[in-house]
């Protein structure tokens, strides 16, 4: 029923109950949340210091360690989206004047550059054309040149669909005495990740992609090496909300009030991580790979070209070149408005050149690939 709300004597607002179309979200994120996750989110909130909630926070920590394959004690969820967790890694590791080397191979590398600069880092960059990745030799020679305190890389560059291999990078960082900071926003839960084996010191992610959860509670982790740097820093972390010295006391045994956690989002995150545990993280990775390979085959059979070389393609996010003469934006709009299927457009340098198709978390299923191809065939000119 529509209601009229009077804002003042001359302004009136017509408001009806919430009505949102049901969409299949096959873009760069958010992906559709798992129904069990939405159900968990619907549980009545308790207090943020309630023993039942504190126990749930402990479970989130353990399940996150499993999902990331790490034993880092300081493994938590930041209240905020992936960007907040990204900022938490930078705020807690970069001290003014620190050389921060960022590997830029897409849009999110540039965001790291901007952020590290704002925290006083002496930021240096190495770059790759969008869609390519860095070799170990290129990283070694950049570390030799710049001698950074921190090397920051994006594992899964959502703007290009490329997966940066990380094997051996942690050893290089140890050789050159620097920390390794990794963006796993589009990889956690969908792409193999072995943080400890790979020697990653700081990592962050989001809830709305591979974890099949709504956005707003974002994984963060920090190794003991990174915590040592934090303990030795000269000044305070210049961001109160994201200071791990304070947040660690809420998530750790002291349980000191820090902020009112978004209780229901943490219910959702806990359920999504439980579902991953139930499926088994290796099975999850395998499912993402199999469905992505099926998508790639179907797209190529349809005559479309994929932007990234197969070896470095992300199973969670595929970039497809928009054929010459096709209005990519118009196609995406038609898919959304006429068929309720969302795909993403290109970002930054790839704007207007590619579509971005996500198969993440709960959405990584064969039937979704079939549905996408069915509607693409109807919308794309032959
Ligand atoms: C690689 C990468 N890093 C960071 C972010 C920022 O995350 P959020 O949009 O959740 O703040 C995104 C978002 O899609 C991303 O894909």
- For residue 381, is pLDDT > 90? no
Measured from the Cα of 218, ligand 1's closest atom is 10
Pocket probe mutation, ligand 1, options 108, 112, 214, 356, max atoms within 8 Å of Cβ: 108
Give residues (CB < 6 A) around ligand 1: 28-29, 81-83, 86, 108, 154, 158, 183, 185-186, 206, 215
DSSP output for 48-114? TT-HHHHHHHHHHHHHHHHHHT---SEEEEEES-HHHHHHHHHHHH--TT-EEEEEESSHHHHHHHH
Q: Kindly give the distance from the C-alpha atom of residue 185 to the centroid of ligand 1, in angstroms, as a whole number.
A: 6
Pocket probe mutation, ligand 1, options 30, 83, 220, max atoms within 8 Å of Cβ: 83
Q: Kindly give the distance from the C-alpha atom of residue 82 to the centroid of ligand 1, in angstroms, as a whole number.
A: 5
Pocket probe mutation, ligand 1, options 31, 78, 80, 82, max atoms within 8 Å of Cβ: 82
Q: Kindly give the distance from the C-alpha atom of residue 51 to the centroid of ligand 1, in angstroms, as a whole number.
A: 32
DSSP output for 343-370? -EE--GGGTTTEEEEE--GGG--HHHHH
DSSP output for 7-62? SSSS-EEEE-S------EE-SSSPPPPPHHHHHHHTSPP--TT-HHHHHHHHHHHH
Residue nearest to atom 2 of ligand 1 (CA): 185
54-106 pLDDT tens trace: 999 999 999 999 999 999 999 999 999 999 999 999 999 999 999 999 999 99
Domain with CATH 3.90.1150.10 in the chain: 24-31+280-379
Q: What is the per-residue pLDDT for 130?
A: 98
Reduced to 3 states, what is the DSSP secondary structure of residue 239? coil
Q: Kindly give the distance from the C-alpha atom of residue 242 to the centroid of ligand 1, in angstroms, as a whole number.
A: 17
- What is the CATH class of 35-277? alpha beta
- For residue 1, is pLDDT > 90? no
Mean pLDDT, range 25-47, rounded to an integer = 98
Task: Place 14 in a pLDDT band, splitting at 50, 70 and 90.
Answer: very high
Phi, psi of 136 (to 5 degrees): -60, -35
Rounded Cα distance between 336 and 52, Å, is 41
268-304 pLDDT tens trace: 999 999 999 999 999 999 999 999 999 999 999 999 9
Q: Kindly give the distance from the C-alpha atom of residue 105 to the centroid of ligand 1, in angstroms, as a whole number.
A: 15
Topology of the domain comprising 24-31+280-379: 3.90.1150
Q: Kindly give the distance from the C-alpha atom of residue 90 to the centroid of ligand 1, in angstroms, as a whole number.
A: 15
Q: Kindly give the distance from the C-alpha atom of residue 79 to the centroid of ligand 1, in angstroms, as a whole number.
A: 14
127-156 pLDDT tens trace: 999 999 999 999 999 999 999 999 999 999
Mean pLDDT, range 347-368, rounded to an integer = 97
Q: What is the per-residue pLDDT for 150?
A: 98
Mean pLDDT, range 364-376, rounded to an integer = 98
Q: Kindly give the distance from the C-alpha atom of residue 83 to the centroid of ligand 1, in angstroms, as a whole number.
A: 6
Q: What is the mean pLDDT of the chain?
A: 97
201-218 pLDDT tens trace: 999 999 999 999 999 999
Pocket probe mutation, ligand 1, options 206, 219, 347, max atoms within 8 Å of Cβ: 206
222-253: burial string, b at 16+ Cβ within 10 Å, e else: bbebbbebbeeeeeebeeebbbbebbbebbee
pLDDT cut 70: percent of the chain above it = 100
Q: Kindly give the distance from the C-alpha atom of residue 1 to the centroid of ligand 1, in angstroms, as a whole number.
A: 37
- For residue 382, is pLDDT > 80? no
Q: Kindly give the distance from the C-alpha atom of residue 89 to the centroid of ligand 1, in angstroms, as a whole number.
A: 14
Domain with CATH 3.40.640.10 in the chain: 35-277
Residues 6+ apart with CB under 8 A from 337: none
Rounded Cα distance between 379 and 375, Å, is 6
Measured from the Cα of 206, ligand 1's closest atom is 10
Pocket probe mutation, ligand 1, options 113, 186, 215, max atoms within 8 Å of Cβ: 186
Whose structure tokens read 């974002």? 218
Measured from the Cα of 209, ligand 1's closest atom is 14
Six-digit token string for 305: 């070209």
214-259 pLDDT tens trace: 999 999 999 999 999 999 999 999 999 999 999 999 999 999 999 9
């Amino acid at each position: 029923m529509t209601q009229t709300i009077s804002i003042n004597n001359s302004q009136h607002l017509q408001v009806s109950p919430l009505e949102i179309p049901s969409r299949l979200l096959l873009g760069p994120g958010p992906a559709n949340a798992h129904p069990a996750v939405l159900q968990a989110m619907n549980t009545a909130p308790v207090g943020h210091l309630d023993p039942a909630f504190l126990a749930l926070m402990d479970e989130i920590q353990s399940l996150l360690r499993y999902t990331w394959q790490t034993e880092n004690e300081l493994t938590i969820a930041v209240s905020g989206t992936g960007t907040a967790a990204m900022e938490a890694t930078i705020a807690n590791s970069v001290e003014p004047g620190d050389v921060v080397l960022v590997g830029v191979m897409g849009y999110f590398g540039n965001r790291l550059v901007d952020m590290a600069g704002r925290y006083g880092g002496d930021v240096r960059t190495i770059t790759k054309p969008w869609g390519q990745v860095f070799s170990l030799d290129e990283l070694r020679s950049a570390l030799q040149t710049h001698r950074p305190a921190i090397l920051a890389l994006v594992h899964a560059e959502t703007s290009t669909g490329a997966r940066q291999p990380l094997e051996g990078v942690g050893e290089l960082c140890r050789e050159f005495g620097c920390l390794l900071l990794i963006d796993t926003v589009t990889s956690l839960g969908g792409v193999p990740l072995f943080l400890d084996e790979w020697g990653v010191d700081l990592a962050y992610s989001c809830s709305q992609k591979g974890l099949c959860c709504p956005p707003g509670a974002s994984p963060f982790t920090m190794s003991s090496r990174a915590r040592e740097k934090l303990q030795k820093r000269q000044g305070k972390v210049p961001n109160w909300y994201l200071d791990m010295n304070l947040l660690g006391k809420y998530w750790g045994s002291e349980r000191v009030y820090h902020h009112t956690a978004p209780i229901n989002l943490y219910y959702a995150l806990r359920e999504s991580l439980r579902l991953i545990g139930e499926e088994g993280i290796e099975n999850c990775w395998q499912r993402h790979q199999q469905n992505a390979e099926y998508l790639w085959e179907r797209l190529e059979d349809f005559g479309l070209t994929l932007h990234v070389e197969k070896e470095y393609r992300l199973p969670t996010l595929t970039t497809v070149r928009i054929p010459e003469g096709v209005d990519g934006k118009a196609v995406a709009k038609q898919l959304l408005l006429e068929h309720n299927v969302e795909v993403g457009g290109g970002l930054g340098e790839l704007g207007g050149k590619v579509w971005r198709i996500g198969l993440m978390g709960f959405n990584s299923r064969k039937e979704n690939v079939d549905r996408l191809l069915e509607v693409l065939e109807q919308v794309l000119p032959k």
